[in-house]
Amino acid sequence: MRLAKFLSVILTVCACTTVGAQKLAIHYINTGQGGSTLIIGPDGTKVLYDFGVKGGKAALVPYLHALLHDDKKIDYAILSHRHKDHYYGYFDMVEAGIDVRVANFEPDGPKLDSSQLHSNWYIPAEKTTAGKVRTIPVGLAISLGDSATMYVVAANGILMDGTRVDVVNENDRSVVLFISYKNFQFLIDGDLGGGTENCSGHQTTQTDVQTYVAKTLINQKLITSEYGVDALHIAHHGSESSSPLRYIALMKPEIGLVSVGNPNCKYRHPRRDVISPLISAAPEVTPLLGSSFDSCPSINTLQAIYQTDKGTEDCDLMPIGKETLNDGIIGGDIILTTNGNETYTIKTTGRVFLNGVKSQNGVVHTEAYCVDEYETEDEQNEQTCTARKP
Ligand SMILES: [Zn+2]
Ligand SMILES: [Zn+2]
Determine the 3-state secondary structure of 39 from DSSP.
strand
**Domain membership of residue 366 as a residue range:** 10-387
- Distance, CA of 159 to CA of 176 (rounded, Å): 9
At 306, the amino acid letter reads Y
User: Residue 2 — pLDDT band, cuts 50, 70, 90?
Assistant: very low
Rg (CA), the chain: 20
> Structural domain tally of the chain?
1
User: Residue 320 — pLDDT band, cuts 50, 70, 90?
Assistant: confident
Which pTM was predicted?
0.94
pLDDT on residue 176? 98
pLDDT on residue 56? 66
Determine the 3-state secondary structure of 251 from DSSP.
helix
What stretches of 110-192 adopt beta strand conformation (E)?
134-135, 141-145, 148-155, 158-159, 176-181, 184-188
Is residue 17 scored above 70 in pLDDT? no
CA 170 to ligand 2 centroid distance, Å: 7
User: Residue 324 — pLDDT band, cuts 50, 70, 90?
Assistant: confident
pLDDT on residue 12? 61
1 occurs within a structural domain: no
CA 341 to ligand 2 centroid distance, Å: 34
At 159, the amino acid letter reads L
For residue 382, the Cα-to-chain-centroid distance in whole angstroms is 31
CA 374 to ligand 2 centroid distance, Å: 35
Which listed ligand is nearest to 169 at the C-alpha? 2
Residue 168 is part of a domain; what is its CATH number? 3.60.15.10
Q: 53-101: per-residue pLDDT in tens?
A: 876 667 899 999 999 988 999 999 999 999 999 999 999 999 999 999 9
CA 375 to ligand 2 centroid distance, Å: 36
- What mean pLDDT do residues 340-363 have? 90
pLDDT on residue 19? 46
Terminal Cα-to-Cα distance of the chain (whole angstroms): 37
323 occurs within a structural domain: yes
Q: Which of 41-50, 239-248, 278-287 has the lowest mean pLDDT?
A: 278-287
> Parallel, antiparallel, or unpaired: how do β-strands 148-155 and 158-159 relate?
antiparallel
- Distance, CA of 348 to CA of 351 (rounded, Å): 8
CA 35 to ligand 2 centroid distance, Å: 9
- Distance, CA of 323 to CA of 313 (rounded, Å): 11
DSSP H helical segments within 34-178, as ranges? Answer: 60-68, 84-87, 89-95, 115-117, 123-125
Are 177 and 150 in contact by the 8 Å Cβ rule? The answer is: yes
152 occurs within a structural domain: yes
Is residue 1 scored above 80 in pLDDT? no
Closest CA to 247 of 289, 204, 290, 286: 204
Closest CA to 26 of 5, 1, 4, 45: 45
